[in-house]
Each structure stands twice: as structure tokens, then as C-alpha cells.
Structure 1
Amino acid sequence: MTTPTRATLEKALKSDAKLQKEATQIAKDLAAGGYDISLLAEELGFALSSPDMEQRVAGTNLLSAVLCALPADLLNAEQLEFLTTFYTDRLRDHHNVMPAIIDGIDAMVHMKALPAGNVPLILQAFFQHTTCQSQTRGDRTKLFNIFKYLTLNFKEELTTMAGDFVYGLINSIDGERDPRNLEIIFSFMPEFMANYPLLHLAEEMFEIFACYFPIDFNPSKQDPTAITRDQLAAKLTNCLVANNEFAEWTVVLAVEKLESELLVAKLDSIELLHQAAVKFPPSVLEPHFDQIWQALKTETFPGADNEDILRASLKALGALLERAAHVPSISHSYQTSVLGVVLPQLSDVNQRLFHPATAIALVCVAGDAPFAADKILNSFLLKLQATDLSTSPPDQRVKIYQIVAQVYKLAALRESLQKLDSTISVPLLDDVIAALRLCEREDFDAKKEDLELQKAALSVLNECAPVLSEAQRALVYKALVQLISHPTIDLDFTVLTVGLGALQPVELQANFIDIGIRNFEIFSNFIKRKIYTNLLPLIPQMAFTQRILDLVMTQMFKPDNPEPVRLLALEALNTLLTQEDQRFIVDLQQQSNLLHQLIELAQQTKDITLQSLEQIAGPLSRIIQQLPLSEQSAIISEYLPGLQLQKSADLYIAKGLLGYLHKDISLDDHFERLLSDLTQLSLTTDNEQLRVIAHHLLCSLVNKMENTKGNRSKVKQITEQLKKAIKTGDVRAVEILAWVAKGLVVAGFDEAADIVGDLSDLLKHPTLSTAAALGFDIIAAEYPELDLPVVKFLYKQKFFHTIMGKMGSKLADYCVHHLKAFVYVLKATPQAVIKLNIEQLGPLLFRSLEEHNEAQSLCIALGICESFVQQQDAYFQAHLGHLIPSCLELSKYKAQHTMQVRIAALQLLYDITKYPTFALLPHKVDVTLALAAALDDPKRLVRNTAVQARNAWYLVGAANGD
């Protein structure tokens, strides 16, 4: 392994490919220790010092390519000293040699043994003999990355260069226009400017970035990884607030650009002020606050019509006030300036400036809650004291209370609620409580009153419960008792009672809860329902749990209780068990054996209604879901054998026990009887509610059954029984068969294919075809209330392919019911599967759209087409000639075209306009003319969609129209 000869090197320099190959080999030899890099430089000297510029370029390229290929830890300090001398000297060379020199410097500065003192030498030589902006874009990218690396790793050495490095960096950046390079600069410069002394060059450094503000840049649509304007703007903003010395210039720049008429310039300027508020200390910004406030006031008070500008301005003002809150003297100065402008406008809710004033006032509270809240609340108190509560219109007070509630909420979030001035908050809350107590007046007519005043008063009390005095709380309790016992008013005040319960449990129990429970029997059902609604949220608080539970249990299980009263208690229990967690439910079951009591109530109550039984089934289901498997199994063994499903009560009990039973609980001993009884019930009963329960239980049972020969045989017996009933023309048997198939399909049983085949055969039946088509809807549809825990992986795909195997040939025969059934199947089929088979399914979808006789399947078909059109699918683009006429026909007002169908068709026509113009132009005239009819549709929503679609078609082919 010897140093390459001159002949070898001359050969390598003849082409880029040979050069790279030789550089790779040399790097391997150097890494293996074959020779020293100084020997390579000596052999390469003929090229490096050649009077021929092109040969110097080639020689330098080879040396730099070798350096780039070497491991970063190979060269020692002495070797790097030698290379530093060479490359810094070469910076004086012809500009064509510069790309190779930059590559070499880039590789060299990343070497681990590079002496730190060499970095200033390299930079000083570069800044003295060349400029960054005279290089190509790619070389500038390398240089900026070099600067980034050096600022992160050689801070001490760069600091010793003082202004030389800062000045050189400024000159390197000045004039850069390439977005990719700017992205690099804007990424590393904020940290540099924050950590390095800028000396006398701070203003020059700021101006380098200020000239780019606001960013005006449109990324290339062809570049998938293009830098966005917003990304570049955000990074530029970080540069402009990177150093505290920039504060004055930043404010001036932002305020100046805020006067622009361009939306993007305004938003960028406001964001710059926001970031200035976040980054600069309050002491630095204080001299400029008036200037900032005047600029933001223009945008917020009364403010522009643009919501984005208003929102951004309030955000910037909020950041400014929030940062200042840590320095009370500055904060109070800021708040005084702002509140001095907005407080006078809070005196009249009908003024145009009231709403912008309240928005700014709330921002003040969020910034310095104790100071601002007192000023704002006092302003409202003076206004309220000037008006008579009993005679003045309520609308003004409602608006004031709504703002007061937000002030208290913000004060609580800032942990300042207790710090508010009691001389202001006490009389203000007295006024609020007086408004709430209007309901105690004998002449208070809830039908005439809209109760908005009481709701607004409650919203205030919800937020300020911790600061209510004992006397005020006493009045609140009286008002709450009056509200809950009022024969017509139904207000939700649970937030207030929960808050008071946590703070004053003894008071709340004595003055509110006990009164409601003590008089519960004499209240109407309307009031009883309100008591349940307002007491149940208090159950998590231990002080009230048992008292409220006792009320619910007593009303549920009291023998002589009227059915409506018991039903209210059952609904309350349902609500309670839905809200509470597993631990609560298990404890309740263990303490009161609630499940047994509920079953006993269902079976032994005479003339119990189906509504009550439904409310019993819910808690049974909720309880059994939360119990351990061993307890679930014991309960099933105890109660299931005695259930007679022909009885309504027992059927609902079965629904509660079995509906969400864990799939690992074996029902093999009862499986045959359950299947038979549920099937027989569904075939014989005329009650649709009972049939639905039977169907769901059948579906869930076959889904969870163990995959044994015996169980499959029992299912086979039931399906044979149903087939016999079907032969007699029994529509119910078709529906039951579909539910059994659904359970089997989801669980992935092979027997499902046979049942699906039987259903597909019925699609040509003279009387059962409609029921058979709906059967496929049952199999495909999602039922949130149905428990199907055994889900076969990719079962939807398997179901689709089963249907294709059973019905494929029949679909080609164009049977309406086959198409309808198939559309139901497609609704549940993943789009990826449909896309794979679109050549076969597309014609079927188009045919289904031409059959204008059934709204549900039409909406499904239109929805499937729309999902593909929105993605600009090529298949649908090629078949617009089929799709567009069908949509136009469906968009017309006809008896069979429901509003949903017409809207879906028009929406699809609108989405079609996203296809390329050349594909749309042949249809433009026909579509725009045909859509005129939809503009006069009797339904407003249809007309709205028609206008949107027709406008989009009018713009097809127009200049700048997409």
C-alpha cells in the first residue's frame, strides 16, 4: 500500500467519476495507515500548485473529496494544522477553486482533533479574501451550515474574534434570497444572537433580518418537502426577538408593518408583538408599551371585521399584560392605560363598543387578576346599583352577569379569587343573589320569563362560590329550594351545588338536600325528576353518598310506589351507574345485593311496564360488566335456568345479564334452550321492542359461542327451523336469519357463508326479496348497543369476498334487490378493498344510482362515489359520463328523491369539479343548465348546496379557477 503516483493521480483528475473513485480508495488507504496525508499532498502538489486553473480545481477537488471520505477522528492536530494552512492560503485563489475549498473546510472543521485556535484563522481568512454571497446557492448552503456548526461548538473561540466574526456573519447573510438558505439562517441565528455579544453591531444585525419582514414567499407546489411561508415567518420572528437590544427596533418595525393593508402582513406584525411580549423582559418593553397599545387598540377597539386579526391582537395584548404581572409597578401602569380606555364603554351593554371592551377587559383580568378584576367589577357594580332590579329589563343585567362570571372564573384560574376587594364583591354578589331570588316572588311567571337572568346569575355564583359569605349562602340555599320545588322552572344548578357541597357540606345538607328528601313524597313527578338530576352529581362527595342512595333505593323498591315514581328512580339509577366507576358499582352490589333486588323487582311487580323493564335491564348490564368473571358465572348459574323468555320481565332480565356478559363465560349448558326460546319468541310476538331484544341476544350469543361441533350443530338446527318458516313466506324468519348471520360473520364462522348464500337466494323471491335485501343491511350495519366481542381479523373483507362469490353472477343479471343488498354490503367494506375491485364494482355503483327508488341505498352509493371522487380517483374520472347524468337526475325534486339524496347528489357534483379542467369542460354547459332546477328546490339546505355546486361548475376553466 503506497502513495499514489503522479500518473495515477493525473488519470484520476480526468473525470469526476474517476476522481470520486480514487478519493474513496485513498481514504481507505489513509484510514488503514498506509501512508500520511502530507505525502498525498506532496504527490498532489503538481496539481495543487499548477499554473493551470482547471488543474488546480481538479487537484483541490480530489484532496477535499478525500477529506470528506475520511473518518472524523482519523487526522491528528498536526495534520489539521497543515491542512488549515493550505486551505486558508487557497482562499486567495480563483473563484472557480472556491467550491472545492469550501468542501475541504467543511470536512476539516468537523474533524475531532481540529485545534480550536484554527477556527478563527479559517474564518478570518475567509472573511478577508472572499464573500459568501459571491458563491453558488449550493455552496452558500454549505457555508451557512459551517457557520451553524461553529457557533454551536466553538463559542469561546468565536467570542475572542469579537466584532470580526459578527461583522463577517452579517456580510455573509446580507442579500441572501434563497428560502432554503434562509431557513438554515433563521434556525440557528436566534441562539447565536442570544448568546454572543453583538457589541456595536446590534442594530446592523437586526436590520439584516428586518429587511425580510414580513415574509413574502410562495413555495413550489411541485416540491413535496417545500418550506412553507408560515414556517419561514415563524423562524424570522424568532430572530427579530432574539436579543434584548432589539426591543425598540422590533416594536417600531411591527407597528410600522401593522399599518399595511395586507392581511398576512398584519398577522405577522401582531405575532411579532406577541413574541416580543413573551421574549423581552417587561422592563425592556415598558418604554414602548404606549406605542404597542395604541397599535393593538386600533385592531381591537372597535377592531376589524377579521376574526383572525382580532384573536391575534388580543393574544398579543394578553401576553404583554401577563408577563408584566410579575412586576406590579409595571403591571399597574399597563392596566391603568388599557382599562382607562375600555371601562367607560362597559356602562352601556347596547353600545357598539361594549363587546370589544369586554374582550379587552377579560384579557386584563387574565394578565393581572387582582388589580383588573377589582376595577372591572366596581365598574359593573356602579352600573347595577344605578338600575332597579325589579323594574329594569333583564337583558342588560344578563350581559353584565355573563361578563362578571368570566371575570370571577379568570380570577379563580389565577388563584386570585380570595384577593378581590370584598367591598366590591359583596354588594355585587348581593345583586346577583337578588336576581336569582326573583323566582321566589308570587307574581313570578316562568312562562313569561325566559329565565335568562336566573341562568346568568347562576353562572356568576358557580364561579364565586368560595367567596360567598354565610349570609349570602343562606339566601342562595333558599333560592335553590325554591327553584327545585317550582312547578314549572327547570334550571340546571348542579355546578353550584357541587361547589357548595365541597366547601360547606353541613350547610348544603341541612338547607338543601334534607329539604328535598324530606318533602320528596309530596312533590310532583316533574319536581322529583329535578331533585334526582341535582342530587346525583353530589354522590361522589362522601358526606352525601348514603343519603342520596337511600332516597333512590327507597323509591325503587317501595312496594306500593306508583309506576311513574318507580320509573323515575330507575332512570336515576341508570344515570348514576353510567356516571360512576367500577369500584363504586362493585361496592354498591356487594353492600345491597342490588342485582338480586332488581331481578326480584322485575319478576314480582304486577303490571310492570316495558319502559320500567328497560330501565332495569340497563343497571343489570352495567353491574354484571363490572364484576369478576367468577361472580358473573355464579350469577348466570343462579338466575338463567329459571328465566322463561316468553315472559317480558324475564326477557329484559336476560338482556341485562347476557347482553354484555364476558365472552369467556360458557353458556353451553343453556345455549340450545336460549336459541330456541329467543327464535320462537321473535317468530310469534307482535311486540317490536321484544323482537329487537331477541334479535340482539341471538346475535350476541352466536358471536360469543365456543367453536365446538355441538354448538355449530345447534345453530344449524335453528337455521333449518328458520328456513322452514321462510318457505311458508314468514318475513320475520328472514330477519332472524340475518341477525344470526351477523353474529357468525363478525366472529368468522364458516357457517356464515351458507346463511349468506340462503339470503342471496331470497333476493329473487316474489314476496321476501325486500326483507332479504334489508337482511344484508343488518349484517353490514354497525350497532353501538350490540355486544359482539369476538371479532375476526379482516372479517369485513372476508364478508365482501363471500358476497362476491355468492352474488357475483346474479349482479350481472341486473336484479334490483341484488343491487340494493350489495350496496348495503359495500357500506361496511373498507375503501381499500373497494378500490382493488373498482373495475368490477364501478358499473354496479353506477347502476344503483340509476335505480331511483330507495333513498337509503342511494345515499350509501353516493357516499361511496364521493369518497373516491374527493381523492380524484382515476377510474371515476374516466366514467364521469356515467356519474354526472345520474347525479343531475337525483338532484331534481321528486317524491322518491328525499332531501338527503338531493343534497348528496349535489355535493358529489361539487366534488367532481376538483378534477382537472380538461375532464370537466365537455360537461360544463349541460351541468350548469341542469342545476338551475335545483336552485328552486323547496328545501333551503338543498338550495344552498345547489348554489355551491353551480358556482363551482361556472368557474371551471375560468382564469385562476381551480
Structure 2
Amino acid sequence: MTTPTRATLEKALKSDKKLAYDISTLAEELGFALSSPDMEERVAGTNLLSAVLVALPQDLLQERQLEFLSTFYMDRLRDHHNVMPAIIDGIDALVHMKALPRALVPQILQSFFEHTTCQSQTRGDRTKLFNIFKYLTINFKEELQTMAGDFVYGLINSIDGERDPRNLDIIFSFMPEFLSKYPLLHLAEEMFEIFACYFPLDFNPSKQDPASITRDGLAAKLTDCLVGNNEFAEGAVVLATEKLESELLVAKLDSIELLAREISILNPLSLLTVIFFQHQAALKFPPSVLEPHFDQIWQALKTETFPGNDNEEILKASLKALSALLERASHLPDISHSYQSSILGVILPHLSDVNQRLFHPASGIALVCVAGDAPYAADKILNSFLLKLQATDVVPEQRIKIYYIVSQVYKLCALRDSLQKLDTTIRESLQDDVIASLRLIEQEDFDAKQEDLELQKAALSVLNESAPVLSEKQRALVYKALVQLISHPSIDLDFTILTVSLGALQPVEVQSNFIDVCVRNFEIFSNFVKRKIYANLLPLLPQMAFSQRILDLVMTQSFKDTTAEPIRLLALEALNKLLLLGDQRFVVDLQQESNLLHKLIELGQHTEDLSLESLEQIAGALSRVTQQLPLSEQSAIVSEYLPGLDLTKSADLYITKGLLGYLHKDIALDDHFDRLLTDLTQLSLSTDNEQLRVIAHHLLCSMVNKMESNPANLGKVKKITQQLKTAIKKGDVRAVEILAWVAKGLVVAGFDEAAEIVGDLSDLLKHPNLSTAAALGFDIIAAEYPELDLPVIKFLYKQKLFHTIMGKMGSKLADYCVHHLKAFVYVLKATPQAVIKLNIEQLGPLLFKSLEEHNEAQSLCIALGICEKFVAQQDAYFQGHLAHLIPSCLELSKYKAQHTMQVRIAALQLLYDITKYPTFVLLPHKVDVTLALAAALDDPKRLVRNTAVKARNAWYLVGAASGD
């Protein structure tokens, strides 16, 4: 390494030539420039030295070198302001050096605060300085504390007057941590005022700002600063309550949030800002700090909650702030009771009359009080309601409103484990009143009009929550009322929550007073009542005390020979619900103990006059049981029962559906495969029953999907497809549909043989009689069917289907016919958007053409939906083709017989989304669109009119001053 000379350094100062020297030697030789009377030369010299420091590894320089350089830079802080950017870069590099003596940090900062100011620097240099402060406060806490108030004062002066949102984001990010850990000494008030001057924050972020700083995010960080130190409590309360009086929405909300965290900042120009401020204060400051200011906080929040603000967002934020305040104080009884007394003293008088304007806001605040201190607040609130309920002039409407609030009080108490702590006298008197209302149903002259039903529902809502604390006498009355409810010939109320709760708490009572009564009288009840009994007993099944009793009822009613068909259908529906409720162990045990599969098959095959609905329930039960069994048992069941099933019989077809519909894919059906394919195909071709045809189609599709790929199986499928093609040549529409279902199973499983069938279907799209069926065939192949079991799903099969279709139909689409377009759109519905985007140049014109063919609602909705996805993302291709898209949408938005409501809404929604494109591409269309949309405003359908108003307003605002 050579020694630098003045000549080489002067040359370096004037060029970008790189030099490599020892840092101490470099600084010494640079002395001519660093101390030059020429300011520009000093700037260049300092820039060079700082650039070298910035480029050096942080562990390269040693302590002696860093002391020398620190002394130099501290001295340079007296220099001309043009030199300051280079000095700041150098100091930034120095403080990050690992060997820097920690005692030098206070000296560097002291020199900076003494000889210059942060706010006299450029925005970029201020950013560097704030990042330096952030780094030092995190890594040099003990050293900075030795500066006492000097560092805090210097920091205050550095922040004071900062206006750039990017710098404020840095300050507001690191200062909360600083404020919570560093003693502010006598400067706490000055520090608070530094942040208070920004509240509420007035900031409209630039769309071009790469920093992506939002007003809400910046405001939240400011609030963290305002509640960062307990000494800020008084100032924060005063600030929040003062700004809460603002008429600006954002200021109010920010202030309320701040108060709640006193007990962060969100929206600085609004009521929301104030509310948010209050909320954060409630969360941050301990109750002991806030207690002297509680009356001031409550008065501020009361204005927004009682009688209540018209703005729902402000009201919610205010209640949230109040809730935070009360919850923080709940573990300190003296403070909590003081808070609660102040609030309850205001609201309790207004809970006595539900018709008063203040009843609703008072009840909302009452629930907040219960959430904060359940035992103390709930007793007073419930007693207030009890006094009202015991009055003689209470009408049912008032009782209903009170009951619903009481139920919420109970729920909140239960959540806080305080239900048992409530005053027993008050609680039981209240529950007596509720039970008396429920027992009105026992009266012979009970009129099941709407108001009476609402009263019953409200009473049940209270009992649902109070079940754990009902007395024995009260429970006895409840059981009687429940029996009356369940046996009523016309009322159907859901009280399963109550019975499940009571069943868990008092199983013996529920068994004897409710379940046994229902089962004992089951036969004499109407089907309406029987359905209610099943609905209310089945949720009790997981409770072991009742499982066998409920199961016996369902099994008896399902399989008894003398059971009438409508009653059997109810029982089979209940059996399926039981199988859904139970876990795998329950289902397997039930099969092993009762041989349920055999019973179901026997029932289906040997019971006369079974409806298709009952057969469907049998199939569902068979499927649910089979799925839960081990593979070996599934295989044995198939081997035992499948050979004897005749698929020309409806019962056997449904049984086959139950056994095979969700059979595990690893169970081979090769021995039965040919017969099943043939029988199912013939059934679908011959029957006029659409339900049976659907079952046959689903079974065919599922079987070919999970068949083993071997020449024998593929040959059998080939044989069936040839039969179908023969039927198609004879003009059989059904054969086209069957062929599509076979193709679907093959496509999803990734069989190459699917391509040939897809080609055959595409050839039919020009057939004079079968073209519509062929187009719908593509919908079958592409659509999702949740009820269909397709266990073998080839990775990227949708992409493969798309490319197969394009290969088969691509040339035909150029000379399109309507059916080609319909089929193509059906396929696009299932194609991933990324694949469509890659091929948009080829597909776009076809999409636009499909929109011009106004004859089929389903394909139009699909095409509009595809276009909307791209337009919502402001896709460039669609931006360039608005001249094609907009006229088609306007035409489709008009009321015509073929333009269904869904089509018109989709077209209008797409027109609305188009307004998100840049103004300059929309302006040429603005007048035409706003005029054309006037017709849609008079559409006979309300939903269409609503979308039309939204779209027309958006177009009307295109190019407006506030609307880009």
C-alpha cells in the first residue's frame, strides 16, 4: 500500500477514481483539503473521508483510530452548513463501528446539539439523523442516560418542527420505546407537547410515494408516543377530551381511541382520531394514574355514547374506549367500583322504560359495565330490570327487549366466571319472571301470534344463559314448558341450547322429565311434532347418558315393519344426522353392534312402496357408514352385496350409490367394472326418471375416475364410448350427456383417452340437433360438483383440459358458431386465470364475441365474470379494448327477455369496475355511457337498479376534480 500524495488526492477529489490507503494516513494527508479555506474543497475532502468510512466493514477500524476520527468530526460540526451532509454521513458510519469507545457517543451528541440543529438540515439528512438517534437509543441506553436532560432536550429540539411524513414515521416508530425506558426528568411536559402538536394528524399520502405511509398507520404510531410515558397521562386526557369536541370525524375517533389506550393514533383529522387516542390511553396508563382524570374522561365519552352519536363508527369506538378503561380497573375493586358508580348513576334511571329514547344507549353502556366488572355492575343492572318487570303495566314488547339484554348480561357474567357470584335473590326473581313468560304456552287459550312467539324466544334466550344457576324448582317448571313447546301442533322453536346445557348439568332430570316423555308418547304425536322431537333430541346424542335412548328411538322408527312411509322418512333423515354428528368410532361401533349396513340394504330391497326420498336417505346412510370402515371391511362389503344388485331396480341403484359413491379409490372393482358400466349406461339411456339418470351419471363418472389404468379397464371404457357414439349417430341426446360424464371422470384423473372424447364432443357442436347437448357437455366436464366423488385428481388437469380444447376447437373457433362459443366459455370458467392471461391475445376476441351473442344467460354470466376479474385488476389488454367491451355491456344491461337479472347485474358491475381505469381512457366513452345507463335506472328489478345507480354515478364522476 503506497502513501497518498497531495497530487493523487487532489486528482481523486475531482474524479471517481478509487483509492486504497490506511484510514489514519488518509485523514492526515487529506488535511490540506479538510482545513482548506476554500469551502468547496473542504466539502470534497470531507465527502471523500466519509465515503471511505461508509464503505469500510464495521469491524475493521480499531479504538485508537475511531477516537481520532470522532475528534475530527466533532470539531467539523462547527463548519459551514454545506459541509454538514458529509459530516452526518461520517458520524453515521462512526457510531455503527463495533470498536467505537462507548463513552464517545455522549460527546458526539453533545457536540452536535451544541453546534448545529437537526431542523436546519435537508430532509434526507434529517432522515439520517433520526435513524442515528433511533440506533443510539436502542444500543447505548446507559451512555445516553449519563447525559441526563441534555440528550432529552437535544432530542426535543431535533424533533420540534418536523413535518415530513417519512421522518415522522421514523420518529413515531422508535420514540414509544424510548419514552417508556428513559427518564424524562423535568422535560416530560415539553416532550409531550412535541407530539401533542401533531394531534390530530393532518396527512394525505401521495399516490406516488414509494414509502406507502398511510395516515391511519402514522396516526396509530403517534398515539403510541402520546401514551408512551405515565407522566403524559394528564396531558393526554386533556388533549383527547379537548379534541373530542371537534366537529371533524377523524379527530373525534382518534381522540376516543387515545383515551381508551390511556386506560396509539389512527385517524388524525377526525372524530375517530380523538376516540382512538382515548382508547390507547386506557390501555397504556395504569388505573392509578388515570383515576384522578376519570370524571373528565367519562364526561367526554358520555357525550358520544349517551344519548349516542349518529355515526355508528364513533359510537362503537367510544364504547370500546370505555370498555378498555373499565377492564383495566376491574382488578382494583376500589377504583373499579368508583368508575362503575359514576357510570351506573347516569344510566340506571333510563333502563326502566324501554320506550325512552335513552333506553338503547343506556343498555349498550350497561353491557360495557358488566364486561368490565361483572359481579358489581350486573347486580345493579339486573335489579333495575327486575323492578321494571314487576310493575303491572309492562307490555310484552317491553318484556322482550329487557329479556334480550338480560340474556347478554348473563352471558357476559358467564364469560367472566361471575354467574354464581350474582345476588341470588335478584337472580332467582328474574328467572321466575322469565319462566312465567315461557309457561304461557301451557295455557289452553294460548294464541301463537308473532308477538307471543317473540316473547317465547326472548325467554329462551335468558334460560339458555342461566341454565347453570336455575334452582331445582325452576328447572321442574322449565321441563314442563319444554314438553308443551315440543308437543305444540304449530309452534316450532329451537331450544336445543337449553336442553344440551341442562342435559350436561342434570342428566337424570332431563332423561325423566323431557326425553322419556317425548319417547313414551312418540307414536301418538303428529309428523310435525315427531320432526321437532328428532331435531331437539339429536344434539343430545354426544352426551353418553342419552345416547342409547335416542339411538333406540331412531333405529326402531327406521326399521320397524309397521312404520308408515312418511314416519320412516323422518327416522331415516334423523339417522343420517346421527351419522354426521357422530365421530368415526361411533359409526364403526354402530355398524358392528347393529349390522347397520345389512339392515339398510334389507330395508331398501324388501320394503314396498319406499319413496325415492327414503331411498336417497338409505344411500346417504350407507355411504357415511362405508366411508368410516377400514379398507378390508369396505372390500368385503362390496364383494358380498354388489353381485346381487340389479341396477334396473330403483332400490338397488340407490344401494349401489350408497356402497360405491364414496368407496375408497384403492378398492378394485375390476371384477364388476364391465357389468356396472354397461348396466349404468343402459339405465341412463332407457329411463325417463331424471333422478335415476343423475345417480347413474355420477357413478359412471366416479368409477372411470378411480379405475386402475390397465388395458382391460381402458378397453371396457372404449367399448362403452363406442356404444354411446352409435346411439349418438341415431340422434340420442342422452348419449351425448353420458359421454360428457365419462369424459369428466377421465379428464380429472388425467387419462390421455379423454382427448378423443373431447374431440368427439367438439365435432358435435355443429350438429343440427345435438349441438346444444354437446355445448352443455363441456359445462359438465368443466363444472365443479361438490356431491361427486372424484378421488383421483391429476395435477394441473384444468390447464391440460384447456390446451386439449384449444387443440381440438382452435381452428373451429376462428369460424365460430354459437355453440362453439358456449362450449368454449364453459371451459374457460374452470380454467385458472393465469392460464387465460397467458393466452389473452388469442382468447380476448372470443370473449368479446361471446358477449355479442345475446342468447344464453349462463354463458353470458360466465364471460362477464371472466372479464370482470381482469378489469378489476386494470389489465392492460382490456384497457386497450374498451371500445369492444363497453358497447356489449351497455347492450346487456338493458331489460330484455333473454337478458336475465343476473346478466344485467353482471354487465352493470363490469361497467362500474371499468371506471377504475385511468381517466384519459374513459373520457371518450363518458357521455355515451352515462346516457345509455339511464335506461337501467328504470329496470323492473331493484337489485339491477341499485347496481345501475352505482355504475352511473361512477361514470358521472369520471374526470371530476376529486375523482381520479
Aligned pairs (5 A) from 1:863-882? 863-882=865-884
Change (3 A) 1:90 1:929: closer
Tell me the residue number matched to 1:29.
none
Tell me the residue number matched to 1:660.
662
Q: Distance in 1 between matches of 2:207 and 2:145?
A: 42
The answer as to 2:615 corresponding to 1:625 is no
Cα drift, residue 171 of structure 1: 0.7
Tell me the residue number matched to 1:338.
343
Tell me the residue number matched to 2:173.
187
Q: Distance in 2 between matches of 1:940 and 1:181?
A: 50
Aligned pairs (5 A) from 1:784-933? 784-933=786-935
Change (3 A) 1:924 1:656: same
Q: 1:251 aligns with which of 197, 212, 237?
A: 237
Change (3 A) 1:358 1:695: same
Q: Distance in 1 between matches of 2:95 and 2:585?
A: 64
Pick which of 217-226 and 434-443 moved more. 217-226
Tell me the residue number matched to 1:775.
777
Tell me the residue number matched to 1:282.
287
Q: Distance in 2 between matches of 1:463 and 1:344?
A: 25
Cα drift, residue 899 of structure 1: 1.5
Q: 2:371 aligns with which of 366, 381, 390?
A: 366
Cα drift, residue 277 of structure 1: 0.5
Q: 2:296 aligns with which of 278, 281, 291?
A: 291
Aligned pairs (5 A) from 1:353-392? 353-387=358-392
Cα drift, residue 766 of structure 1: 1.6
The answer as to 2:143 corresponding to 1:141 is no
Change (3 A) 1:551 1:261: same
Q: Distance in 2 between matches of 1:560 and 1:43?
A: 113
Cα drift, residue 826 of structure 1: 1.4
1:110-156 deviation digits (Å, cap 9, x = unpaired): 22222221111111111111111111111111111111111111111
Tell me the residue number matched to 2:509.
507
Tell me the residue number matched to 2:58.
72
The answer as to 2:951 corresponding to 1:941 is no
The answer as to 2:198 corresponding to 1:196 is no
Q: 1:52 aligns with which of 38, 46, 49?
A: 38
Tell me the residue number matched to 2:547.
545
Percent of aligned positions that are identical: 85
Describe the SS at the equivalent of 2:307.
helix
Read off the aligned partner of 1:301 and give its amino acid letter.
Answer: F
Q: Distance in 2 between matches of 1:394 and 1:364?
A: 26
Q: Distance in 2 between matches of 1:397 and 1:448?
A: 14
Describe the SS at the equivalent of 1:888.
helix
Root-mean-square deviation over aligned CA pairs: 1.5
CA contact (8 A) 2:762 2:809 kept: yes
Q: Distance in 1 between matches of 2:147 and 2:916?
A: 58
Tell me the residue number matched to 1:300.
305
Cα drift, residue 450 of structure 1: 4.7
Describe the SS at the equivalent of 2:769.
coil
Cα drift, residue 938 of structure 1: 1.7
Tell me the residue number matched to 1:326.
331
The answer as to 2:73 corresponding to 1:87 is yes
Aligned pairs (5 A) from 1:135-284? 135-266=121-252, 267-284=272-289
Describe the SS at the equivalent of 1:415.
coil
Cα drift, residue 260 of structure 1: 1.3
Number of residue equivalences: 945
CA contact (8 A) 2:895 2:936 kept: yes
TM-score (norm 1): 0.96
Q: Distance in 1 between matches of 2:694 and 2:713?
A: 23
Pick which of 222-231 and 270-279 moved more. 222-231
CA contact (8 A) 2:704 2:742 kept: yes
CA contact (8 A) 2:304 2:314 kept: yes
Read off the aligned partner of 1:688 and give its amino acid letter.
Answer: E
Tell me the residue number matched to 1:30.
none
1:373-431 deviation digits (Å, cap 9, x = unpaired): 1111011000000036xxx5321111100000000001111111111111111100000
Cα drift, residue 743 of structure 1: 0.7
Q: Distance in 1 between matches of 2:39 and 2:586?
A: 87
Q: Distance in 2 between matches of 1:568 and 1:50?
A: 102
Cα drift, residue 469 of structure 1: 0.7
Tell me the residue number matched to 1:745.
747
Change (3 A) 1:892 1:198: same
1:833-871 deviation digits (Å, cap 9, x = unpaired): 222222222222222222222211121122222222222
Tell me the residue number matched to 2:564.
562
Q: Distance in 1 between matches of 2:152 and 2:958?
A: 54
CA contact (8 A) 2:63 2:100 kept: yes
Aligned pairs (5 A) from 1:429-578? 429-447=431-449, 450-578=452-580
Q: Distance in 1 between matches of 2:855 and 2:61?
A: 82
Q: Distance in 2 between matches of 1:132 and 1:954?
A: 48
1:687-722 deviation digits (Å, cap 9, x = unpaired): 111100000000011111111111111110000000
Change (3 A) 1:944 1:220: same
Read off the aligned partner of 1:944 and give its amino acid letter.
Answer: N
The answer as to 2:587 corresponding to 1:585 is yes
Cα drift, residue 224 of structure 1: 4.0
Structure 1 ranges of 4+ moved more than 6 A: none
Tell me the residue number matched to 1:416.
418
CA contact (8 A) 2:775 2:819 kept: yes
Read off the aligned partner of 1:503 and give its amino acid letter.
Answer: L
Q: Distance in 2 between matches of 1:113 and 1:862?
A: 66
Describe the SS at the equivalent of 2:604.
helix
1:908-957 deviation digits (Å, cap 9, x = unpaired): 22222222333233333332222222222222222222222222222223
CA contact (8 A) 2:166 2:211 kept: no
Q: Distance in 2 between matches of 1:591 and 1:134?
A: 88
Read off the aligned partner of 2:555 and give its amino acid letter.
Answer: M
Q: Distance in 1 between matches of 2:604 and 2:391?
A: 61
Q: Distance in 1 between matches of 2:325 and 2:785?
A: 52
CA contact (8 A) 2:397 2:451 kept: no
Pick which of 393-402 and 872-881 moved more. 872-881
Q: Distance in 1 between matches of 2:437 and 2:119?
A: 73
Tell me the residue number matched to 1:31.
none
1:73-117 deviation digits (Å, cap 9, x = unpaired): 233323322222222222222222222221221111122222221
Read off the aligned partner of 1:13 and give its amino acid letter.
Answer: L
Describe the SS at the equivalent of 1:487.
coil
Cα drift, residue 447 of structure 1: 4.6
Change (3 A) 1:326 1:895: same
Contiguous gaps of at least 5 residues in structure 2: 253-271
Cα drift, residue 449 of structure 1: 5.0
CA contact (8 A) 2:305 2:318 kept: yes
Cα drift, residue 448 of structure 1: 6.0
Q: 2:643 aligns with which of 641, 644, 647?
A: 641
Pick which of 735-744 and 564-573 moved more. 564-573
TM-score (norm 2): 0.96
Q: Distance in 2 between matches of 1:370 and 1:125?
A: 60
Describe the SS at the equivalent of 1:418.
helix
Q: Distance in 2 between matches of 1:304 and 1:449?
A: 30
1:500-555 deviation digits (Å, cap 9, x = unpaired): 11111111111111111122122111111111111111111111112111211111
The answer as to 2:13 corresponding to 1:13 is yes
Tell me the residue number matched to 1:32.
none
Contiguous gaps of at least 5 residues in structure 1: 27-34
Change (3 A) 1:6 1:590: farther
The answer as to 2:688 corresponding to 1:683 is no
Q: Distance in 1 between matches of 2:864 and 2:91?
A: 63
1:636-667 deviation digits (Å, cap 9, x = unpaired): 22222222111111111111111111212111
Tell me the residue number matched to 2:258.
none
CA contact (8 A) 2:438 2:459 kept: yes
